[in-house]
Structure 1
Amino acid sequence: MYTAIKVTVKGKVQGVGFRPFIYQLSKKYRFNGTVQNNLNGVIILAEGEEGQLGNMVDEIKRHPPKLAKISDINIHPIPLAHYKGFTIIPSRENGKAIPWIPADAGICEQCLEEMMDPCNRRHHYTFINCTQCGPRYTIINRLPYDRPQTTMKDFPMCHDCQVEYEDPLNRRHHAQPICCPDCGPTVTLYNQSGESLAEHQSAITRTVELIKQGNIVAIKGIGGFHLACDAYQERAVEQLRIRKRRPQKPLAVMVKSLEAARDLCHISSSEEDLLRSPEMPIVILNRKRGCGLPHTISPGLSTIGVMLPYTPLHHLLFKDHRLECLVMTSANPSGHPILYKDADLEHVRNICDFTLTHNRRIDFPIDDSVVQCDGEHPIFVRRARGYVPEPLKTTSDVDRIIALGGNQKNAFSVGNGDTIVMSPHVGDLENEEMIASFEKQLHHYKGFLGVKEVKVAVDKHPLYATTSIAKKLKGKTIPVQHHHAHHVSCMEDNGLNEPCMGIILDGTGYGEDGNIWGFEFLYGDAQSYERLAHLTYTPLPGGEKAVREPWRNAVGMLLHYWPENGKELCMNLFPERAKEINIMEQMILHQINTPMAGTCGRLFDAVSAILGICPISTYEGEAAIKLSDYMNRRKLENTGETYPFHIIRNSPNQFQIDLSPMIDEIIQDKFQQPITAIAQKFHTTLVSCCIQMVLELFRNRPELNRTVVLSGGSFQNVFLAREIQEGLQKEGFNVYTHRNVPCHDGGLSLGQIIIAAHTLEGR
């Protein structure tokens, strides 16, 4: 029977070749009609034999374009309009659904083959792309995603590109960044004085020569400038660290191929899939013994952050095999926003010898994504290029709510209807430049999503930069407790609505009692929570200074736990700090700038300092990261041996964990046992105390839901996450970890926005 239907396809369907895909289906299944983009998604009006239309819908569901991600398909019968053929019609800027902003994608195999083909007109062209790869998010001015609304409007198409663009059967049909050497952007190499040295392919060839000579080159990519040097040249790596003021934090590397990556690191099938995915993130891998890279790439760690070339330019840098591996790190000075504009070149030239740039503007800067594997699943360390901005559906009404996230590893969320759009990783809001960058990105997102009058969810910490930012925004402010937000973030990440237990192992969060929380056992949902248990508080002399200098944290614990001989222990462990220890003793005694804290992050810091691993941190989380790394250094035999600890019942419904017996034995073991053995026993103790605490809580409250979520920055520690999850599952609990957003503060805004929605609904 000849009939007509309207098909509305929602999700990631713009900028992924969806309309030409439908056009090709019209030929395959012999139907007439139209296909069009609007803010609702893709609208298909199709007339044909009922069976053939059914086949068309089935193929859309089963085999959409590679970059597409369909969230919903609606099909409705409509009257026949008697179309004479099938056409792709211009986009319309209407519709009420959340527009799905396409993400940037790594170069596809077909474009890579064409770029390396001497007979192809795009041979060695740095900006080759098609509907399945290339820049998207970073070049968009506004929606819907069409060329006049991208920075590619600066480059009118030549005749040949126009023909490809308009041909529905061509791979580049409506590929908005389409271009070629005759009409597209160009690359240029500059010296420190701003003089042009070379253009086009000769600029790339010269760049390779300069890197081989030991120079540091700033390279403009999809989302901003990278600093690049030969990763095998230790002197160049050290010079880069000095100029970037990054003495210890790991540097990411880009290797020419998967085979080259295998020479350096152990790679599982899951890690290989991540490296080769369209998102092409940095993947944290375990380095092999005898790996030729200098240890200055990731000092004190057994892992390396590795990525494959994801742009045409990157592939051309490795083309002649003179380079095997490049350090590829963001060009901004540590703690400052991404450098991405040509006007930023002046700042870039202060830390590099040469600059390889291009004249395609970047409208939205973005960092490389960073992931690690827990065996099967990816864990987000930094959610950015390739994954952002992917809308998240929710059952909560988050319309016109903005959640500002935290001060560390910031990412904000904007709500529209039943959809949440999270920003990419912004960074730490520790200076005016970072705050300005945050506010600019937030302004853009509000414009993209049409969000004006808003309600603002913000962390309860009174001194966070987000608290000041919230005051500038028009609308009601909803304060949200930090660890409650972590709890609900993991619930939302897994589609959970019923009240459940949350184990929140974190660095620092402002507590309801004015103390610093971060080792929490909460029970509740988005509407409310109970704090059932936590780590005992110890003094943090100097506050933030003790976070930056973990040895101070250790001193605070020892003086608190052992008033009589704690000072002697401190002097034995840190003999060069005698004068400061005397001052800190008085600070604790008189409660001067000494908040009380019970956090997993500070516990890791203290143990790391006691063992001499990291007395002073040069980057956020360094002490904990380096202590955790000992779990990667040999095949561990799970002896189950733990240090002693106490579970203390403070009241009928609240408990504390006292780990002072563990600290005492760790100090003794330091002089008798290898650090690796101590680190393993420490980790096993944390797993054991968390499981025992949960069992005690459920013995006390057997009516509670036996579902547990794990959240907070300490769960980036794969051992802790895996062992606590498996241990609780053996005891009959359903246990969930993060999957789509980071477990650290980069996922905080997801919990904040859901809590705010329920707070408003309750009122």
Structure 2
Amino acid sequence: MLYAVRIKVTGRVQGVGFRPFIFNLSKKYNINGTVQNNLEGVIIHAEGSRDLIASMIDHIHSRPPQLAKIREIIVDENQPSFFKEFIIVPSNRSGHAEPLIPADAGICNDCLNDMREEDNRRFRYPFTNCTQCGPRYSIIRGLPYDRPQTAMDKFHMCISCQEEYENPSNRRHHAQPVCCPNCGPELILYDLNKKPVKTNQKAIQEASSLLSNGKILSIKGIGGYHLACDAHNEKAINEIRIRKNRPQRPMAIMAKSLETAKKYCQLTEKEAEMLKSPEMPIVVLRKKESCELPDLLSPGLSTIGVMLPYSPLHYLLFENSNLECIVLTSSNPSGLPLHFKEDPGILSDYVLTHNRPILHPVDDSVIQVNQDGEITFLRRSRGFIPDVFTSALPLNHILALGGNQKNAFAAGKGHSIYMGPHIGDLDNEEMLQHYENQVNHYKSWLGLKEEFIAVDSHPSYLVNKSASRFKGTVIKVQHHHAHHVSCMADNNLHEPCFGLILDGTGYGDDGHIWGFELLYGSAASYERLGHLTYSPLPGGEKSVMEPWRNAAGMIVHFWPSHGKDLAIKLFPQKAREINIIENMVNKKINSPLAGTCGRLFDAVSAILGICQTSTYEGEAAIKLSDYIYRPHSANCKPYPFKLIKNKGEPYQLDFSPMIYKIIQEYFESVPPAAIIQRFHQTVVSASVNLILSKADERPDYNRQIVFSGGSFQNLFLAQELSRHLQGKGFSVYTHKKVPCHDGGLSLGQLMIAAQQTKAKEEKRR
């Protein structure tokens, strides 16, 4: 008896070779019918024996295409149509627009082999791709994902490519970006005067030669333009730093191969796996002691960001030269949007570009791997965007704007959460306009008409200006509550739990600056159980950029009688400014009160002379934390601290005894690595003491805890705190799919807004 079913597969199932995969399964399991894309996902009508259809469905579940991420498979019995074969039918724009948009993927080995075979028509062709690799998100104009809806619509396939595209047994069957030298995009190399120098293969050869000879090139990649130079050429690296106004911030490199990366860096099995994954992110690796790469690449750090070639063009640049590693950093001046439409070439000597448009800019993703092999996102973008999270809460028509730093927005559709790409710091109108353009793209894709807009409660965030430009009811969300709920959502937690939020800056409910918070709650509400004692930030934002001011403000505040003398002894060249700072602190002039983990790390970094003026966000804390991996004394006993317990108020951690002891040891020339090791242990010990004190006081509270906030990029803190708390019976959860810093903030904002709208709806009923 003929059995028929309708199968709906949702998730990331478009642009990943899913329809040809199903077509080939139909032959394997002797099934007739159809497969089609629509706005919901992939729809399959299958006719055959009941057992063979069940086997095919099991195959889809257990062995989908490499790039596919199946969310759900729904099977319903159907009436047979008595098909005589299995066919791929044209896409249909019907259905509910809740699909997963495919992500860009690094070149696969099969395409790499095509490029290396001299008798292959794609020999050395820099736009080679198939259903398992190549651009996706960056070239999509609309859904469903078909060639007319992409940036490839103007490139008409030649006869050979058309045959591949239409052949169900070919791996380029329905590969929307498919092309070859006869019908696809072309390369062109321009000089400083925008004069064409070379095209296609000659452009690649010339570009490789220029890089080898110390020139700086702007290269159009998958999601935007990169500045590139020889990673061993200190003069060229320094010139990029000058041109980008990026004096200290680490720059990533692209290594020719995994073997090259191993030559310079220590690699775990998981780090190697991530370097070679389809997403091909930048992986932060620890340099070997024998590493011969210039320190100028990551000044003051024992780590460096490394990626492998992820586009055909990258491979060709290496294969036409003797280069082992190249610097690859965004070509825009610091603080301005990513160049993706065209690069004016103001920072480079030459521009290597092509005529395939980039519709959606996307930066390189950055990850690090902890000792347990777990991934932490530092930047979630190319390759991982736009993966979708799901929630039991209805999220329809909620837009979460995210924060001002490391921004990434989020949009709710049905029960799906669509996280936007890494945008960056929204410090000017150019960045804000770039941000709004990306939000509008998502709204268009999803058919989203925002009814509610979740924003940070900070009154001065530039990103919140966008709330008035979008439509909808504004819901203000406290910064650290959003961090707390972001980590809960990341781990699919719903019941109230503890949250330790170690962060740089967030606007508090009392008008002060929070950032070292012990919370308890969920998306519905939260309670502040404890925090760091407040100290003044003389000059406000200026103290963030100049950590020595932050340190001086703390010292003058904690020791009024002799703090000024201590500060001048630490920073003798700043005596005049310290006199002014003392006056500002005493008279409470432009000195907002702050209690944040980031500022605590900044102060210690400045006191020890590691970083007194920051040139990029978090520099002082990052350089301080790097010492934890350097040789140090065996004395890891924590410094003294105070836990202040006032009835009816949140507990307070007072680290002033520790700071005083650190200053004494600095004057006694105790090695910085030894001081920094004890400092880290003190932060861990004090945090554990605070958490256990509150947990003992509230035995009815759930002994689960989430860690969030930018300071948890410090893997040592996360690992040590986890070890101590797990030993005391806590279940500890850290971020898995979104960054712990403000790049994950919008996920928490969205969930809190959804909970509030649900509660209001229930009240109306």
> Which TM-score band (shorter chain)?
over 0.9
1:531 aligns with 2:528: yes
What corresponds to 2:122 in structure 1? 122
> Quick check: 2:212–2:321 contact (8 Å CA) kept in 1?
no
CA distance in 2, matches of 1:7, 1:637: 63
- Answering whether residue 669 of structure 2 is matched by residue 677 of structure 1, we say no
Q: In the alignment, which residue of structure 2 is the partner of 1:754?
A: 751
Conserved? CA contact 2:208–2:321, under 8 Å: no
Query: 1:330-409, aligned counterparts within 5 Å?
Result: 330-342=330-342, 345-346=343-344, 349-375=345-371, 376-409=373-406
Displacement of 1:653: 5.2
- When structure 1 is superposed on structure 2, of 647-656 and 187-196 the one drifting more is 647-656
The answer to whether the Cα contact below 8 Å between 2:204 and 2:320 also exists between their aligned partners in 1 is no
Aligned pairs (5 A) from 1:694-709: 694-709=691-706
| 1:435-584 equivalent positions in 2, closer than 5 A | 435-584=432-581
8 Å CA contact 2:209–2:321 kept in 1: the answer is no
Matched, 1:39 2:39: yes
1:254-301 deviation line (CA, Å, top 9, x unaligned): 010000000010000010011000000000000011211110000000
2:139 counterpart residue number:
139
Partner of 1:666: 662
SS at match of 1:618: coil
1:319 aligned partner: 319
User: How does 1:269-288 map onto structure 2 within 5 Å?
Assistant: 269-288=269-288
Task: Measure the CA separation in 1 of the matches of 2:6 and 2:469.
Answer: 45
Cα deviation digits, residues 542-594 of structure 1 (max 9, x gap) = 00000000000000100110000101100100000001001111111111111
Gap change, CA 1:705 and 1:638, over 3 Å in 2: farther
Report the counterpart of residue 74 of structure 1 in structure 2: 74
Which residue in 1 is equivalent to 2:232?
A: 232
2-structure distance, mates of 1:602, 1:82: 70
CA separation in 2, counterparts of 1:571 and 1:590? 20
- 2:608 maps to 1:611: yes
Q: Is the 8 A contact 2:7 2:73 kept in 1?
A: yes
Q: Name the residue aligned to 1:83.
A: 83
In structure 2, C-alpha distance between the alignment counterparts of 1:698 and 1:210, rounded to whole Å: 62
Asked if 1:602 corresponds to 2:595, the answer is no
Q: In the TM superposition, what whole-angstrom CA distance separates every residue of 1:675-719 from its partner, at most 9, and x where no partner exists?
A: 011111101111111111111001111111100000000000000
How well do the aligned residues superpose, as a CA RMSD in angstroms? 0.9
- Which amino acid counterpart does residue 217 of structure 2 have in structure 1? V
2:621 is paired with a residue whose SS is: helix
Instruction: Tell me how far apart the structure 1 counterparts of residues 646 and 456 of structure 2 sit (CA, whole Å).
Output: 28
Residue 37 of structure 1 deviates from its aligned partner by 0.5
Look up the match of 2:60: 60
**SS of match in other structure, 1:650:** coil
Unaligned runs of 5+ in 1: none
How many pairs does the alignment contain? 758
Give secondary structure in 1 for the equivalent of 2:646. Answer: strand
What amino acid does structure 2 have at the position aligned with 1:584?
Answer: I
Cα distance in 2 for residues equivalent to 1:639 and 1:61:
53
- AA aligned to 1:628 is S
Deviation at 1:395, TM superposition (A): 1.2
**Residue identity in the other structure for 1:623:** A
Asked if 1:148 corresponds to 2:145, the answer is no
Which digits, 9 at most, give the CA deviation of each residue in 1:403-455, with x for residues without a partner? 00000000000000110101010010101110000010011111111111421
2:737 equivalent to 1:740: yes
Q: Shift in Å at residue 39 of structure 1?
A: 1.1
Distance 1:568 1:439, change over 3 A: same
| Cα deviation, residue 466, structure 1 | 2.0
Q: Distance in 2 between matches of 1:407 and 1:538?
A: 23
TM-score by length of 2: 0.98
Structure 1 CA distance for aligned equivalents of residues 56 and 461 of structure 2: 53
CA displacement at 1:469 relative to structure 2: 1.1
Q: Distance in 2 between matches of 1:567 and 1:281?
A: 47
Residue of structure 1 in register with 2:178 after alignment: 178
For 1:751 and 1:66, locate their aligned partners in 2 and report how far apart those are by CA, in whole Å: 30
Distance in structure 2 (CA, Å) of the matches to 1:324 and 1:579: 50
CA distance in 1: counterparts of 2:137 and 2:69, whole angstroms: 16
Look up the equivalent residue of 1:446 and give its one-letter code.
K
Give the match's secondary structure for 1:581.
helix
The alpha-carbon deviation at position 97 of structure 1 amounts to 4.9
Equivalent-residue separation in structure 2 for 1:760 and 1:6 (angstroms): 35
Name the amino acid aligned to 2:741: H
Aligned to 2:640: 644
Q: Which letter does structure 2 place at the counterpart of 1:595?
A: P
Aligned partner of 1:164: which letter? E
In structure 1, distance between residues paired with 2:750 and 2:648: 32
CA deviation vs aligned residue, 1:46-77 (integer Å, no higher than 9, x gap): 11011111110111011110000111011111
In structure 1, the residue matched to 2:624 is 627
2:298 is the alignment partner of 1:302: no
CA distance in structure 2 between the aligned counterparts of 1:704 and 1:160, rounded to whole angstroms = 66
In 1, Cα distance between equivalents of 2:517 and 2:53: 55
Q: Secondary structure at the match of 1:468?
A: helix
The SS at the match of 1:702 is: coil
Paired residue type of 1:354 = Y
Structure 2 SS opposite 1:651: coil
CA contact (8 A) 2:513 2:594 kept: yes
Return 5+ residue gaps in structure 2 as ranges: 761-765
Q: Partner residue of 1:687?
A: 684
Secondary structure of the corresponding residue to residue 437 of structure 1: helix
Q: Which residue pairs with 1:657 in the alignment?
A: 653
Q: Does 1:417 align with 2:407?
A: no
Whole-Å separation in 2 of the counterparts to 1:511 and 1:83: 64
- Report Cα offsets for 1:621-644 as digits up to 9, x if no partner: 00000001111224x787541101
Would the aligned equivalents of 2:635 and 2:674 in 1 still touch at CA under 8 Å?
A: no
CA displacement 1:504-523 (0-9 Å, x = unmatched)? 00000000000000000000
- Tell me how far apart the structure 2 counterparts of residues 492 and 35 of structure 1 sit (CA, whole Å): 34
Alpha-carbon distance in structure 2 between the residues aligned to 1:673 and 1:329: 38
Give the whole-Å Cα distance in 2 for the aligned partners of 1:551 and 1:653: 31
Identity rate, percent: 57
Is 1:193 matched with 2:193? yes
Q: Determine helix, strand or coil for the equivalent of 2:645.
A: strand
Task: Report the CA distance between 1:320 and its aligned residue.
Answer: 3.7
Tell me which amino acid in the other structure corresponds to 2:392. Answer: T
Residues 636, 677 of structure 2: 8 Å contact kept = no
- Of the structure 1 ranges 497-506 and 469-478, higher mean CA displacement relative to structure 2 is found in 469-478
TM-superposed CA distance for 1:651, in Å, is: 2.0
Question: 1:333-354 deviations in whole A, cap 9, x for unaligned?
Answer: 0011100112xx32xx211100
Higher mean C-alpha displacement, 500-509 vs 204-213: 204-213
Output the CA distance in 2 between the equivalents of 1:291 and 1:37.
50
Equivalent residue runs for 1:261-272 within 5 Å: 261-272=261-272
* Residue 248 of structure 1: how far off its partner (Å): 0.1
SS at match of 2:707: strand
Mean CA deviation greater in 92-101 or 170-179: 92-101
